[in-house]
Amino acid sequence: MSTPFDTLGPDLVTTDPDLVASYARDETALGVSGGAGPVAVVSPRTTADVAAVLAIAHEHRVPVVVRGAGSGLSGAASAPEGSVVLSTRRLTRVLEVDPDERLAVVQPGVVTGDLRAAVAEVGLFYPPDPGSVAFSTIGGNVATNAGGMCCVKYGVTGDFVLGLEVVLADGTVTRTGRRTAKGVAGYDLTALLVGSEGTLGVVTEITLRLLPAPAPARTLVATFPGLAAAGAAVAAVTRAGLDLSMLEIMDRTTLDAVDELTGMGLGADGTPAAMLLAQCDGEDAPAVLERMAALCEDAGAEDVVAADDAAEGEALLEARRQALPALERLGDWVLDDVCVPRGRVVELLEAVERVAEQEALTIGVFGHAGDGNMHPTIVHDAADPASVAAATRAFDAITAAALELGGTITGEHGVGRLKRDWLARELDPGAMAMSRAVKGALDPLGILNPGAVLA
């Protein structure tokens, strides 16, 4: 099949149906589908190649879906019919790491874990650590404004993006932002592009702010007999202003699954209702975690364990790292990503319990307690339409509960195609109109990832 992109040559373009099909969707469940799917995959080697792709797409009005690792969970990289997938798989260079200015310049296809390792070699630290850090790309992280476990102390991807090189809808190459620590020249186009999920431009280079490497983190784990006690501990820790670099939570369903997978013995004396995992990477970490231990005990913790060393800390953290793999073993899964005010996490967890009971589904919850960002994970049978329907109802009920609690429909995964119909339930008509106006201004032909973010 011939496409307008064939002029770019077979090195950059493939229309092989099997290969194209393998690029058609990201990791999103619940039937976010590309229908007949894309017609071609282009894999540019340079910014000029990207500009050429966009110029052709613009001329022929072909939808363009940018794709990093394809590990997204909201369908932003699920390519619609007739589109071209623009893969960043060859744009994988770390162009610069500057220890004096504490910045790095990278191409979008660099795996985030590799980036973290590259800057660590010169004593620097790139904090954002989404769960997918070992395989997702920095370009995908920028597109979704990804978070992770670090956010409670360090913030999200966007907090570290100083500037971008971006190819606009018509193929124009431009730069936004700066290399300086501060700067307010004109509108913050960088922040507008971060989190825009490939709908406003294609990012081809990212200038990232880095931090000095922190002290090695110390780890503390506390278990609770009830959700309310865990919630009280989180509230007390937050109110005390403890300098934690991680504050994660797992519920009983997740702990049972992790126990089954790892045999860690988390439920030796009966699985606790919830477990908190905290880290502190400050100079006074022992004192901070001692205060946290006391606050957890005051809140009714069953068991509080501080790691003696980094290795033991890593072992404790492994339980959290295995949360999703453990739940995955129970069946097909769909991962929600909602964020509520910190003080209402317990109410969200209670709502999830009610939904699980009502729909007779297993729903494990884990997430970033320090931010209120939770990942209820709905286990179901994708081959059974009734189970899929129940999972869909549960997903909707949980997302609605988050909104009712003053929260947001997405804390860090993005809107994509999965939640585009939800956006107007969170934003008011004015903000929706602003969003559409911005989209229309920057992509008047609507070729950049149409159907993502805005319905």
How near is the Cβ of 72 to a copy of itself at its closest, in Å?
12
By CB under 8 A, is residue 315 in contact with a copy of itself? Answer: no
From the list 27-35, 86-94, 257-265, 431-439, the region that binds a copy of itself by CB under 8 A is: 431-439
CA distance 61 to 55: 10
The yes or no reply on residue 153 touching a copy of itself (CB under 8 A) is no
Nearest distance in Å: CB 423, a copy of itself = 6
Using CB under 8 A as the binding rule, the residues of this chain from 270 to 309 that contact a copy of itself are 282-284
State whether residue 4 is helix, strand or coil: helix
Contact with a copy of itself (CB under 8 A): which of 381, 426, 445, 450? Answer: 426
> CA 449 to CA 455: how far, in whole Å?
11
Q: What is the nearest approach in angstroms of a copy of itself to the Cβ of residue 455?
A: 11
Chain positions 100 to 139 lying near a copy of itself, rule: CB under 8 A, are 100-102, 123
Q: Are 3 and 15 in contact (CB under 8 A)?
A: yes
Choice between 23 and 160, CB closer to a copy of itself = 160
Within 10 Å of residue 418's Cβ, how many Cβ atoms? 29
Residue 455 lies near a copy of itself (rule: CB under 8 A):
no
Binding to a copy of itself by residue 235, rule CB under 8 A? yes
The DSSP line for 269-302 is TS--SEEEEEEE-STTHHHHHHHHHHHHHHTT-S
Find the part of the chain contacting a copy of itself (CB under 8 A) among 252-260, 327-335, 352-360, 424-432: 424-432
The label of the residue with tokens 């793999």 reads: 325
Q: How far is the CB of 27 from a copy of itself (least distance, A)?
A: 17
Residue 440 lies near a copy of itself (rule: CB under 8 A): yes
Tokens (6 digits) for 106: 């990278």
Q: Is 322 in the site for a copy of itself (CB under 8 A)?
A: no
Residue 203 in the binding site for a copy of itself (CB under 8 A): no
- Could you tell me if 284 and 273 are in contact, meaning their C-beta atoms sit under 8 angstroms apart? no
CA–CA distance, 15 with 364 (Å, rounded to integer):
40
Least CB distance from residue 413 to a copy of itself, whole Å? 7
Positive or negative: CA dihedral 25, 31, 32, 37: positive
Sign of CA dihedral 50, 56, 59, 63: negative
User: Binding of a copy of itself at residue 18 (CB under 8 A)?
Assistant: no
Closer residue to a copy of itself (CB): 18 or 187: 187
Looking at residues 20 to 79 of the shown chain, list those that interact with a copy of itself (rule: CB under 8 A).
none
213 lines the binding site for a copy of itself (CB under 8 A)? yes
The identity of residue 443, as a single letter, is D
Choose among 356, 192, 342: nearest CA to 276.
342
Residues 91 and 447: their CA atoms lie apart, in Å, by 22
174 binds a copy of itself (CB under 8 A): yes
Nearer to a copy of itself, 90 or 175 (CB): 175
Angle between helices 227-240 and 285-298 (to 10 degrees): 140
**How many residues line the site for a copy of itself (CB under 8 A)?**
88
Is residue 147 involved in binding a copy of itself (CB under 8 A)?
yes
Measured distance CA(233)–CA(248) in Å, rounded: 12
When binding is defined by CB under 8 A, the residue of 192, 330, 382, 445 that contacts a copy of itself is: 192
Nearer to a copy of itself, 370 or 376 (CB): 370
How, if at all, do strands 64-67 and 332-335 pair? unpaired
Question: What does the longest C-alpha to C-alpha distance in the chain come to?
Answer: 69
Closest CA to 27 of 156, 150, 159, 144: 144
Q: Does 421 bind a copy of itself (CB under 8 A)?
A: no
Q: Which of 94, 228, 261, 427 binds a copy of itself (CB under 8 A)?
A: 427
Least separation in angstroms between residue 353's CB and a copy of itself is 21
Contact call for residue 249 and a copy of itself (CB under 8 A)? no
Stretch 325-354 residues interacting with a copy of itself (CB under 8 A): 339-343
At residue 222, φ and ψ (nearest 5 deg) are -135, 140
With respect to a copy of itself, which residue has the nearer C-beta, 19 or 431?
431
Q: Name beta bridge partners: 378.
A: 334, 363
Residues 381-410 that bind a copy of itself (CB under 8 A): 406-410
